[in-house]
Amino acid sequence: MDVATTSKFLALLAIVAVGGSVAITALRLLPGPGPATVRADVARVAPWLAAAVAVAATAGSLYYSEIAGFVPCELCWYQRIAMYPLAVVLPIAAVRGDRTVGRYAVPLAVLGAAVSVYHVQLQAFPDQSSSCDAAAPCTVREVTALGFVTIPMMALAGFVTVVALFLAGRPTRTAVPATTSEVPVP
């Protein structure tokens, strides 16, 4: 596959990931037994899905640098530093059934997402950059798949999806039932 086709495929995966993240977030906010059942189902597969997202993001990153020949900029390296450990740790945690992995995976994904957000806005407003390497500037958009999806956007989609999947597994807060003293008398 050529770079353009691979980029479109990876961009579509990123868009699907964002859509899934939005759906998962909406499920966390909806009350009732139906959404609760779906939340429980998502929570069961969340570690596996998070592992798949991290492995796919890492594979995409390696494709761009090792096969397509793109030189990663400094911010890309920081995003890799956050994503690559997730690609190793999350599959192991999924296989072992480790439900505590979110305690260290989520902070790592949040930090990676923060770098991605900064990188996306830096590419949108390149005049503010003064610390980029001339050989691999952070403002260059090596990929603009589907007209708008850049590599930092794909990374951001991966990080946000990992966070959303782990939040899906957390119990939701339920409202405390009203006591008889709080119920108005007709």
Residues 146-174 have a mean pLDDT of 86
Instruction: Report the domain count for the chain.
Output: 1
Q: Is 175's pLDDT higher than 70?
A: no
Mean pLDDT lowest for which of 39-48, 51-60, 67-76, 99-108?
Answer: 39-48
Q: Is 182's pLDDT higher than 60?
A: no
Q: Does pTM top 0.75 for this prediction?
A: yes
Evaluate whether residue 142 is within a structural domain. Answer: yes
- CA distance from start to end of the chain: 71
CA nearest neighbour of 77 among 133, 127, 129: 133
Q: List Cβ neighbours of 8 (8 Å cut-off, separation of 6 or more).
A: 145, 146
pLDDT tens string 107-135: 999 999 999 999 999 999 888 866 666 67
Evaluate whether residue 180 is within a structural domain. Answer: no
CATH number of the domain enclosing 48: 1.20.1550
The C-alpha atoms of residue 7 and residue 56 are separated, in whole angstroms, by: 13
Evaluate whether residue 49 is within a structural domain. Answer: yes
The C-alpha atoms of residue 78 and residue 117 are separated, in whole angstroms, by: 12
Evaluate whether residue 141 is within a structural domain. Answer: yes
Evaluate whether residue 45 is within a structural domain. Answer: yes
The C-alpha atoms of residue 63 and residue 82 are separated, in whole angstroms, by: 17
Domain limits at 55? 3-168
